[in-house]
Structure 1
Amino acid sequence: MKKFINLSFSSLLLAGALFLGSCQEEFEDINTSDAQGESIQATSATAIKIEKTASKDGSFDNIVDGASCIALNFPYTVEVNGLEIIIDSKEDLRLIEEIFDEFDDDDDDLQIRFPITITFSDYSEVTINSNEELAELARQCVEGGDDDDIECIDFVYPITLFSFDVNQQQTGRVTVNSDRELRLFFKELDDDDFVSIEYPITLKRFDGTEIRVSSNAELAAALEAAEDACDEDDDDDYNDDDFDEDRLENLLTECPWVVLSVERNAIDQTAQYEAYLMTFTEDGKVRVRDRQGNILIGDWDLDSDDGYVELDLQFDTLVDFSLEWKVYEIEQGKIKLFSGDGNRITMKLNCDGGTADPDTLREILGECNWIIKKVKNQGEEIQRLLGFEFDFMAEGVVTLSDASSTIQGSWEVAVGSEGGLVLAITMGDEPGVSFEWPLRDLAQNRLRFEVEEIGYELVLERVCTSNETDGDVVEIMNTLMAGDWVVAQYSDDGNDETAGYNGYDFTFGMENALTVSTNMDPVKNGTWRVIRDSDGHLEVYLNLGDEGDVFSELTDDWDVVSITETRLEMKDISGDGTQDILVFERK
């Protein structure tokens, strides 16, 4: 079964299948209660992955020790550029980076006051008395994310474990409440010991989403899928400041940037350029809007040099920005650039749309089509419009379509009375979207418009032809269109309502057409879509209207949890924390 953690669908599905096939022989049935699962031998691949997931990650203090496989025990004292600092917690490490970042062209120095105590990945400890001893241990670490620990998924505690000897006699029962307790439990096992886990248990992925597993096979698949699913930040750059050209390009084009400060040839030019707005487009153009609304167009490009990523800016008139800038920090929505002595720019990400220029919004709207994720009218959400597709065309023409119909209207972008941008849509045959929508959040892949005081909101997700090359999206679409499906489970906030769908077949057809039938007789038509949203999550949009019948209960944008050729599991977590579960199985 595939678990979605922003990986390629086909590669993850193949890896999961191979892994599960290789692991089945490790699971031996034991005569235990139903609450306990199959046994895991202490030396099995699954047990090793559990240990790796529970291992102590030492990368959080790499700015001090330069070693991801060890961590310094608090408290300890360091001297940073001559300033003595007592490190009592992870938060204090931030002080070191702030001192390092104060000047771009100085030589930073950090000295540790010995002796110190360090903890290894298996939670064993040792006292270190010199830099030489620490450096020798650091050389033994594997860096760059290639070490053994699994950091992209965590166990949610408590977890109850049962231990068995080679004769399958239970030798103990323990409830662990932390990674340390779990790792030490496995460390004390003999090679011929077995362990059983009391299921279900919960794991939390690196992106904050949770997954519940109910067997050893599901646990093995989840840990395998998470092994290389995120940046483990195993380097010396504390607080995840590391980045490459791809990450920087995605960040630059995500939203416009507001200039906070400029220094040119050691002269502060902030007063001249503060609040300028820079918009980077994927075609290598950068548009700068000054405080008077004038637009200057330039070019931008990225390159790597001597460990830095360089941002090359070239303008005909904006000469103070025309340099090859080294990017030395990305943090909390800010980016800092420098070039030689005395040339610095600091910018802040601006996704609220308040200072964007109309041309930026027009270009973003016109680049691709846009799917309605949410629309509210006077506080009431209009479910019947979920998944409808806008096509903003030239000459102010816009169409709105679902699987069965297309209607036409007009659109324009203007500066509103409060100075922000407004998208005015006139769609005579669909009053639910006919409104002057003030822009609140602007990004390349997501737009949000809102008038909070009167309960109007419109959220759009971008859908481009490039989605057709997204392997995950294509694979899910092809799987769903391969046959008829039935509802195997529908849980509404814990209430099992599956029985209401007995006898109904769901057909996912071409052109986003969704048909519900019984005994081959259609009873309800709707729309379906598969997209990867702006957060990278794979979603299946189902729209079966909002008439209040049993089928309209399924109208929602569902997050994909797992999929095989014969089973699709999805969930939806609402704003109040309630969770719905929908499972389709191939007929």
Structure 2
Amino acid sequence: MKSLKLFTAIALTAILGFTSCQSNESEEVGTNPNTNSSTSPTASNYERAAKNNGSEDDFLDGNACTELLFPLTATVNGKQITLISKLDFSTVLNIMGEFNDDSDAVTFNFPIRVKTSNYTEVIVNNQAELDALKEECEQAEEVGKDAISCIDINFPVTMLTYSISLEQTGTVVLESQEQLYTFMTDLQSDELFAVNYPINVTLSNGTSTEINSDTEFQNAVSECVQYEEEKDEAKETAVEVEAILTGTKFKVESFVTAGVDTANEYADWSIEFTNDLKVVAKDVVNATLNEVEGTYTVSSEIEAFVTIDFASNTTVSALGNDWVVTNYSSALITLKSKTDASVTLAFKKI
């Protein structure tokens, strides 16, 4: 390995015509031969990270590989909406969130325009064509060729290009994600490249970090993909838990605070979660007592959460909290406080 590094360094420094800046870049790559072919894992990572991300509008088209282009008109749960920009997404989400026990239905007024993951604009004339694009996306996901959307490269990024004999052939400054994608997909079999590190990236959890090598970039990709998988699993859990809660009455099976189970204090109460995100507590023994109404939401990050909010100074106020879902079945949901894991609550279906 030492002989190879020495040979590479000599070969690179012998090339005539470099500027002093180019010479420094060559020496850096020569002492750490970080050159990659078009079929290398590094090339694949950068190509996937540079693909157009169409996941922001998945609640409409269910396809992470296509970006819906404006304007477009769709019928959402029977209501026709014209979307001019992403600002109109909130209108659609409000319609979808009105009730949580219905099946949201989206019908587009075709033709519509979409931008695919390779930045090609396509006119989609009917639902069958849209479904075909979705199937292509699912196939790409299965073989690990879909977009890596959990890492954003901060541009500009400089690429050093080489021939297969490790002779530097140029320097390319890339200013955007699309330019990076084009650079990667245009690489020929007799061309090599090296990333001029360091570069900076922003991960989907909001953190920014400096990347100093192909290995560090690979590690960052692996970590963020794992983070996204955990988010997806939590989202699925949230959907399932919300379906169990909605329209169902429960009793407090256990409520442990400071090591003491106070479930008996709620033995006469039923807790019902309605389909419009209200939670209603009712004393089933003493009908003269007024119902206590609050609200609830089910959400997720890398865990699933149930947030319950009752007004203060009511019999069931203590049940209000930001809860983490720890376990669930069709009959029993167990929770722990988001801020104090020693506080736990279990609801059992009546």
Cα 1:245–1:82 shift into 2, 3 Å: closer
Distance in 1 (alpha carbons) for counterparts of 2:43 and 2:176: 16
> What is the TM-score with the length of structure 2 in the denominator?
0.61
SS of match in other structure, 1:96: helix
- Asked whether 1:317 is paired with 2:268, we answer yes
Q: Report the AA paired with residue 285 of structure 1.
A: S
Q: 2:66 aligns with which of 70, 93, 109?
A: 70
Q: What is the Cα-based RMSD across aligned positions, in Å?
A: 4.6
Deviation per residue, 1:477-529 (Å, 9 max, x gap):
xxxxxxxxxxxxxxxxxxxxxxxxxxxxxxxxxxxxxxxxxxxxxxxxxxxxx
Partners of 2:139 and 2:263 in 1: CA distance: 42
Q: Distance in 1 between matches of 2:216 and 2:314?
A: 47
Structure 2 vs 1, CA of residues 232 and 56 (structure 1 numbering), >3 Å: closer, same or farther?
Answer: farther
The equivalent position to 1:226 in structure 2, one of 224, 227, 233, is 224
- Which letter does structure 2 place at the counterpart of 1:219? F
Is 1:242 paired with 2:235?
Answer: yes
**C-alpha displacement at 1:264, in angstroms?**
9.9
Matching of residues 349-428 of structure 1 within 5 Å: 349=307
Quick one: which amino acid aligns to residue 244 of structure 1? T
Cα distance in 2, alignment partners of residues 172 and 144 from structure 1: 32
1:375 aligns with none
CA contact (8 A) 1:78 1:113 kept: yes
Equivalent runs, 1:179-198 vs 2, <5 Å: 179-198=177-196
Superimposed CA distance per residue, residues 118-169 of structure 1 (whole angstroms, 9 cap, x where no aligned partner): 2222222222111111112212222897553323322122211122233434
Aligned counterparts of 2:126 and 2:262: Cα–Cα separation in 1: 56
Deviation of 1:445 (Å): 6.5
> Shift of residue 48 of structure 1?
0.3
1:409-456 deviation digits (Å, cap 9, x = unpaired): xxxxxxxxxxxxxxxxxxxxxxxxxxxxxxxxxx95758xxxxxxxxx
Q: Give the secondary structure class of the aligned counterpart of 2:59.
A: helix
Counterpart residue number, 2:304: none
2:295 to 346, 370, 375: 346
Instruction: Return the alpha-carbon distance in structure 2 between the equivalents of residues 163 and 91 of structure 1.
Output: 41
Deviations 1:68-119 (A, max 9, x none): 2222222222122343322233332222221122234556432212222222
Which of 138, 144, 155 is the aligned partner of 1:142? 138
Gap regions ≥5 residues in structure 1: 1-27, 235-239, 250-261, 266-279, 289-294, 300-314, 330-334, 339-343, 361-442, 448-461, 464-587
SS of equivalent to 2:202: strand
> Could you state the TM-score of these two structures normalised by the residue count of structure 1?
0.39
Matched residue type, 2:91: L
Does structure 2 conserve the Cα–Cα contact (< 8 Å) formed by 1:68 and 1:143?
no
**CA distances 1:375-433 after superposition (whole Å, capped 9, x unpaired):** xxxxxxxxxxxxxxxxxxxxxxxxxxxxxxxxxxxxxxxxxxxxxxxxxxxxxxxxxxx
Tell me what 1:98 maps to: 94
The list of structure 1 runs, each at least 4 consecutive aligned residues, that deviate by more than 6 angstroms after superposition, is 245-249, 262-265, 335-338, 354-357
Relative to structure 1, is the Cα distance of residues 157 and 355 closer, same or farther in structure 2, using a 3 angstrom cutoff? farther
Match of 2:150 among 146, 149, 152: 152
Using a 3 Å threshold, how does the CA distance of structure 1 residues 246 and 79 change in structure 2: closer, same or farther? closer
Aligned residues: 271
TM alignment of 1:265-304, pairs within 5 A:
285-286=254-255, 297=263
Distance 2:296 2:134 in 1: 36
**Inter-partner Cα distance in structure 1 for 2:60 and 2:49:** 24
Counterpart of 1:85 in 2: which secondary structure? strand
Q: Find the aligned partners of 1:355 and 1:216 in 2 and give their Cα distance.
A: 58
SS in 2 for 1:230: helix
CA distance in 2, matches of 1:197, 1:50: 10
Are residues 1:43 and 2:39 paired?
A: yes
Gap change, CA 1:346 and 1:152, over 3 Å in 2: same
Percent pairwise identity: 26
SS in 1 for 2:36: strand
Question: Structure 1 CA distance, aligned partners of 2:239 and 2:123?
Answer: 41
The aligned residue for residue 57 of structure 1 is 53
Deviation at 1:222, TM superposition (A): 2.4
Q: For 2:240 and 2:78, locate their aligned partners in 1 and report how far apart those are by CA, in whole Å.
A: 34
3-state SS of 1:141 partner:
helix
Q: What is the aligned counterpart of 1:119 among 101, 108, 115? A: 115
Structure 1 residue 173 corresponds to structure 2 residue 139:
no
Q: Is the 8 A contact 2:200 2:208 kept in 1?
A: yes
2:254 and 2:262 in contact (8 A); partners too? no
Query: Does structure 2 retain, via aligned residues, the 8 Å contact 1:40–1:194?
Result: yes
Determine which structure has the larger helix proportion and give its number: 2
